[in-house]
A and B are shown apart, each in its own frame.
Chain A
Amino acid sequence: MKLDSKVPSGPLEEKWSKHLNEIKLLSPNNKRKHSVIVVGTGLAGASAAASLAELGYHVKVFCIQDSGRRAHSIAAQGGINAAKNYPNDGDSIWRLFYDTIKGGDYRSREANVYRLAEVANEIIDQAVAQGVPFAREYSGLLDNRSFGGAQVSRTFYARGQTGQQLLLGAYQAMMKMVHTGKIDYHPRKEMLDLVVIDGQARGIITRDLVSGAMEKWAADAVVLCTGGYGNVFYLSTNAKNSNVTAAWRCHKRGAAFANPCYVQIHPTCIPVSGDYQSKLTLMSESLRNDGRVWVPKDPKDERKADKIPEEDRYYYLEERYPSFGNLVPRDVASRNAKIVTDEGMGVGATGKAVYLDFRDAILRDGEDGIRAKYGNLFDMYENITGENPYKVPMRIFPAVHYTMGGLWVDYDLMSNVPGLFVAGEANFSDHGANRLGASALMQGLADGYFVLPYTLGNFIADSDLSRPDTDHEAFEEALSASKAQIDKLLAIKGNKTVVEFHRDLGNILWDKVGISRSREGLQQAINDIQVLRKEFWQNVRVPGEAGYYNKYLEFACRVADFFELAELMAEDALQREESCGCHLREEFQSEEGEAIRNDEKYSYVAAWEYKGLNGKLEEKLHKEDLEFEFVEPTQRSYK
């Protein structure tokens, strides 16, 4: 396998424009002759589908939900970054680039990140023109806020519903093209395999989630925008249907999977309340601007929070990080919550929570002041927990939130399988080992609106493609394989449900491949995953049949893939003998518990090639060295 990042030469600021000038173009007449499959209708997929169809390609778009508008992107709350510098506070493309690459702990490609910062402004223009109702000032001009510890205010937001509004904008643009006939739109169809012919991606296999019908689809290129794999942990802030199946099946067909161990764990989520828990809810990070995080100093302290006097409280973030205090980055906040709860200081019935206390902010600003800022979040908290956060501190705990890893792509967002492009959270490209707040929406839309439409055209213009044809035997082979897997799952009729297996898998990952990792723990995890996977294939109980709507069958297929991905995540975490971004290896931290990165040995993208599965997952590691020509990697410090 050869990994060529295809980063254009020349100064950082000129790479993208130079590349655009050199890219091959297709005449409108020619575009009309070509077809593209887009899988996924989140920000990345909907924007790509709309833009490609506008250019004239014939697009087929697929998603799992009953409407493209329901993709997981809809749930994003906080905002989207762009360096417009409207507040005149000194922001620039360079600064957005620098913050993003530093935030990623120097584990991403300079050229990709710079391009992301460069096209971000156009996203805001596009969204506003579509009617996305961003927050505005009295003047009628756009408002910005500071987000995720940034020193400038560069985050555009639409109340707490930025993802919803941006997605509706992209979805509507897509539906307009459905109306013109340039897009064939297929909701409730799940991709189960990639079809590769002569080394090129030429189509996909889907299962119709209503009728169970298996279908073949051919095209000149396939664009995967299927989101992240956080649900491998069972509990996460992701929507219940988020999964890795499409990406994983592409991996098994030859696409390299990059940096699977990079998982972002968000510090402020509502804690687990019981075994029945099905997902975790994010509480906006902005709460840390006014809330103080603490635990009782004495693990045996049984008093109610308001009865615990100041001297018996441990404000651990403020004490350990005096200059950033409660506003330390996500990974630092999450790790410290784990440390104090592991030491027995956690609160609530399960002991797996810490307090986020607004008492002092309410004394200072009054209850109305706090309500004006966070009213909807407080209501949401009360609705879920039954507790009133104006009266008692919130209980929060970290939860899996975002996956930086994903399919490996080059500068053109093409995987190592020619014709297979990957965009949005499904690729690995721009966030290194840690994603900054408000930058995933930016990346998904940058990929879909402003990168793919050009780079995909370049690929098609450059390739000598035969006519797409589903009669090719490779389609039949892939379809039979997917069918056989479904039949096998249904035939097991074991004694443990898919949900139970998934929950058990999640527990292994959370304990050993979660907030902090150790060599021993990871080795144990690999073993545990293999054992549980074996049991899954012998003892899972999948109800019903394949020929109709059967959600537990859908889940079974997805969990089967999670079982394989999980092992690769542990393998990847094991080989990376350093701490970087969200990846903390216990062996590689300073005496004060700070992460120690090792640039000399680990400044690379770990791209894995699938070699087979035989009780054990066989994968070969390839390294794409990261070179820093324009910025100098420094150690992050928040002390």
Chain B
Amino acid sequence: MSSSTMTIHLKIWRQKNSHSKGRFETYTLDQVDEHMSFLEMLDVLNEQLIMEDGDPVEFDYDCREGICGSCNLVINGKAHGPKHLTAVCQLHMRNYNDGDTVVIEPARAAAFPVIKDLVVDRTAFDRIIEAGGYVSVKTGSAPEANLIPVNQKKANQAFDFATCIGCGACVAACPNSSASLFTGAKIAHLNKLPQGQPERNERVLAMVDQMQKEGFGDCSNFAECEAVCPVGISISAIAEMRRDYMKALFDD
């Protein structure tokens, strides 16, 4: 496999902590290999910064396979960068050209305060799940698994929503910083399944309530969230959430 290298200009958001003001810094990297991943390019930049006594750029990551949802950079204004259905950790430099300028920012939202540079605090997502994103089944109390048959199509639909990786790109992309796609996906996953029925009303009311308390905005159907979602969660999750919410209000 032959590979070619390129020069990339970077404009990266630097911010010491949540209290301080941030700013863009520019860097230039030569010899960027087309087979590098985007995050590996940042690793290489950091190695250079460390040797020059600079401050390495902080960004979140763990699996680097697009499944843990840790990474969440906004690249040239787009959450997770240019490639459709791809988390930034799976993005490779062959998607760029020699001489390109790349602007990298954190996932900005009032509910996601910046911790340092490109790292943000997403614990609001944990609290939304905590409010009701589960089926209350104590360990040991479950019935035999095949006593709960689930229509295959329904199970697949539920699965499509269950694949959310909780990265927060939907929030970063939304002009209102709404967390509706994230919240709606969890509600739709559980409410579609028979296991989720007993708590369906309480779940949707509590989760939507928590989402609002965390300071996420409302959804006005821009659909930017769906466009950037690295796992392709459908915006129909939001419609289902609204419907379930209204039903739950009247059921109560």
Determine if chain A interacts with chain B.
Answer: yes
Q: Measuring CB to CB, which residues of chain A are less than 8 angstroms from any residue of chain B?
A: 47, 50-51, 54, 65-70, 72, 74-75, 84, 86, 122, 124-131, 133-134, 136-142, 158-159, 161, 164-165, 168, 171-173, 175-176, 178-179, 185, 187, 210, 239-241, 273-274, 276-279, 281, 348-349, 380, 383-387, 395, 449-450, 453, 495, 497, 499-500, 541, 543-544, 548-552
A276–B67 touching, CB < 8 Å = no
Do residues A240 and B64 form an inter-chain contact, with CB atoms below 8 A?
yes
A-B contact count (CB 8 A): 230
Answer yes or no: B11 CB below 8 A from chain A CBs. Answer: no
Q: Are A386 and B130 in contact (CB under 8 A)?
A: no
Given contacts A128-B148, A187-B123, A548-B116, contact A70 B40 (CB under 8 A): no
Give Cα A74–Cα B66 distance, bound, in whole angstroms.
Answer: 10
Check B129 for interface membership: any CB of A closer than 8 A.
yes
Q: How far, in whole Å, are A131 and B199 apart by their CA atoms in the complex?
A: 12
Partner of B139, one of A50, A138, A549: A50
Q: CB distance B51 to A497 under 8 Å? A: yes
Chain B residue nearest to A543 (CB atoms) is B50
B115 & A549 in contact (Cβ 8 Å cutoff): yes
Q: Which residues of B contact A168 (CB under 8 A)?
A: 162
Q: A75-B65, A141-B149 are known contacts; what are 8 more A-B pairs with Cβ within 8 Å?
A: A65-B70, A130-B142, A133-B155, A161-B67, A176-B130, A276-B44, A278-B40, A499-B47
The listed residue (B35, B65, B137) touching A130 by CB distance below 8 A is B137
* Residues in chain B near residue A159, CB distance under 8 A: 159
Q: Is B131 an interface residue (CB 8 A)?
A: yes
Q: For residue A543, which residues in chain B have a CB less than 8 angstroms away from its CB?
A: 49-50, 53-56
CA distance A75 to B145 in the complex (A): 24
Task: Determine if A75 and B56 form an interchain contact, defined as CB atoms under 8 angstroms apart.
Answer: no
With A67-B125, A124-B145 as contacts: A449 and B139 at CB distance below 8 Å: yes
With contact pairs A126-B139, A497-B51 given, residues A386 and B145 touching in the complex (Cβ less than 8 Å): no
Can you pick out 21 interface pairs between chain A and chain B where the beta carbons lie within 8 Å of each other?
A50-B139, A54-B139, A66-B123, A126-B142, A129-B135, A133-B155, A136-B152, A136-B155, A140-B155, A141-B149, A179-B130, A276-B40, A278-B40, A281-B65, A348-B1, A385-B1, A449-B140, A450-B140, A543-B55, A548-B16, A551-B58
Q: In the complex, A104→B136 CA distance in Å? A: 36
- Nearest first, the 10 A-B pairs at minimum CB distance are A140-B149, A129-B142, A172-B134, A51-B139, A125-B142, A133-B159, A128-B145, A549-B116, A129-B137, A70-B68
Give Cα distance in the complex from A8 to B41, angstroms.
54
Name which residue of chain A comes closest to B122, CB basis.
A66
- A497-B50, A549-B115 known; A70 vs B145 contact (CB < 8 Å): no
B144 touches A125 (CB 8 A): yes
Interface 1/0 per residue, B59-74 and A, CB below 8 Å? 0111111011110000
Any A CB within 8 A of the CB of B2: yes
A276 in contact with B149 given A176-B130, A499-B47, A549-B119 (CB within 8 Å): no
Q: A70-B70, A240-B64, A386-B35 are in contact. Are A552 and B50 (CB under 8 A)?
A: yes
User: Is B248 part of the contact surface with A, judged by Cβ < 8 Å?
Assistant: no
Contact in complex: B152, A65 (CB < 8 Å): no
Measured between alpha carbons, how far is A453 from B163 in the docked complex, in Å?
Answer: 29
Q: Which residues of B contact A138 (CB under 8 A)?
A: 152
Compute how far the CA of A279 lies from the CA of B62 in the bound complex, rounded to whole angstroms: 10
Asked if B17 contacts A548 (CB within 8 A), the reply is: yes
Closest-CB distance, B104 to chain A (whole angstroms): 16
**Interface of B toward A, CB cutoff 8 Å:** 1-3, 16-17, 33-37, 39-41, 43-44, 46-47, 49-51, 53-56, 58, 60-65, 67-70, 83, 86, 90, 92, 94, 115-116, 119, 121-123, 125-126, 129-131, 133-146, 148-152, 155-156, 158-159, 162-163, 165-166, 189-190, 193, 195-196
B134 to chain A, nearest CB (A): 4
Which residues in B have their C-beta under 8 angstroms from that of A385?
Answer: 1, 35
Chain B nearest Cβ from A229, distance in angstroms: 16
Q: How far is the CA of A129 from the CA of B195 in the complex (A)?
A: 6
Q: Contact between A187 and B126 (Cβ–Cβ < 8 Å)?
A: yes
On whether the beta carbons of B60 and A66 are closer than 8 Å, the reply is yes
Which residues in B have their C-beta under 8 angstroms from that of A241?
62
Instruction: Decide: A544 and B142 in contact? CB cutoff 8 A.
Output: no
A395 proximity list for chain B (CB < 8 A): 1
Q: Are B62's CB and A54's CB within 8 A? A: no
Q: How far is the CA of A139 from the CA of B16 in the complex (A)?
A: 56
A125–B143 touching, CB < 8 Å: yes
Q: Min CB distance, A125 to chain B, in Å?
A: 4
Q: Is the CB of B115 within 8 A of A210?
A: yes
B62 touches A278 (CB 8 A): no
How far apart are the CA atoms of A495 and B121 in the complex, in Å? 33
A549 to B120, CA, bound (A): 11
Whether the Cβ atoms of B126 and A278 lie closer than 8 Å is: no
Q: A70-B70, A187-B126, A349-B2 are in contact. Are A75 and B55 (CB under 8 A)?
A: no
The answer to whether B68 touches A131 (Cβ under 8 A) is no
Q: Which residues of the other chain, A, contact B144 by a CB distance below 8 angstroms?
A: 125
> CA–CA, A349 to B34, complex, Å?
14
Residue of A nearest to B69 (CB): A70
**Please, which residues of chain B bring their CB within 8 A of the CB of A173?**
134, 137, 139
| Minimal Cβ-Cβ distance residue in A for B190 | A131
Cα A279 to Cα B90 with chains together (Å): 12
- Determine if B1 and A131 form an interchain contact, defined as CB atoms under 8 angstroms apart: no
Among B125, B139, B189, which residue has its beta carbon within 8 angstroms of that of A131? B189
Evaluate whether A68 and B126 lie within 8 angstroms (CB atoms) in the complex, with A131-B189, A240-B61, A278-B40 already known: yes
In the complex, which residues of chain A have a beta carbon less than 8 angstroms from the beta carbon of B189?
Answer: 131, 133
Within the assembled complex, what's the spacing in Å between the Cα atoms of A283 and B138? 35
Q: Is the CB of A84 within 8 A of B39?
A: no
A279 touches which one: B41, B51, B64 (CB < 8 A)? B64
- Flag if B195 contacts A131 (CB, 8 Å): yes
CA distance A240 to B59 in the complex (A): 13
Q: Smallest CB–CB gap between B147 and chain A, Å?
A: 9
Q: Are A164 and B163 in contact (CB under 8 A)?
A: yes
In the assembled complex, the CB of A50 is this many whole angstroms from the nearest CB of chain B, namely: 7
Q: Which residue of B lies closest to A278 (CB)?
A: B40
Partner of A387, one of B1, B126, B139: B1
A383 CB contacts on chain B under 8 angstroms: 83, 86, 90, 92
Q: Which residue of chain A has its CB nearest to the CB of B86?
A: A383
Cβ B122 vs Cβ A349 within 8 A: no
* A274 and B33 contact, CB distance less than 8 A: yes
Closest Cβ neighbor of B191 among chain A residues: A131
Nearest CB of A to B20, in Å: 11
Best-buried of B58, B63, B115, B193 by chain A (most CB within 10 Å)? B63
CA distance in complex: A349, B44 (Å): 21
The distance in angstroms between the C-alpha atoms of A72 and B50, with both chains bound, is 27
Q: Is the CB of A67 within 8 A of B130?
A: no
Residues of A within 8 A of B134 (CB): 130, 172-173, 175-176
Complex partner residue of A277 from B40, B135, B140, CB under 8 angstroms? B40
* Cα separation A348 to B1 with both chains bound (whole Å): 6
Residues B92 and A386 in contact, CB atoms below 8 Å apart: yes
Query: Chain B contacts of A176 at CB under 8 A?
Result: 130, 134, 136
Complex CA distance for A240 and B69, rounded to whole angstroms: 13
The CA-CA distance from A138 to B155 in the complex, in Å, is 10
Distance between Cα atoms of A173 and B133 in the complex (Å): 9
Determine the chain B residues whose CB is within 8 A of the CB of A240 once the complex forms: 61-64
Smallest distance from the beta carbon of B86 to chain A beta carbons, Å?
A: 7
Interface contact A549-B58, CB-CB below 8 Å:
yes
In the bound complex, residues from chain B placing their C-beta under 8 Å from that of A131 are 135, 158, 162, 189-190, 193, 195-196
- With A66-B70, A499-B47 in contact, is A165–B143 under 8 Å at CB? no
Which listed residue, A54, A129, A274, touches B36 by the CB 8 Å rule? A274
Which of A51, A281, A453 neighbours the largest number of chain B CB atoms within 10 Å of its CB?
A281
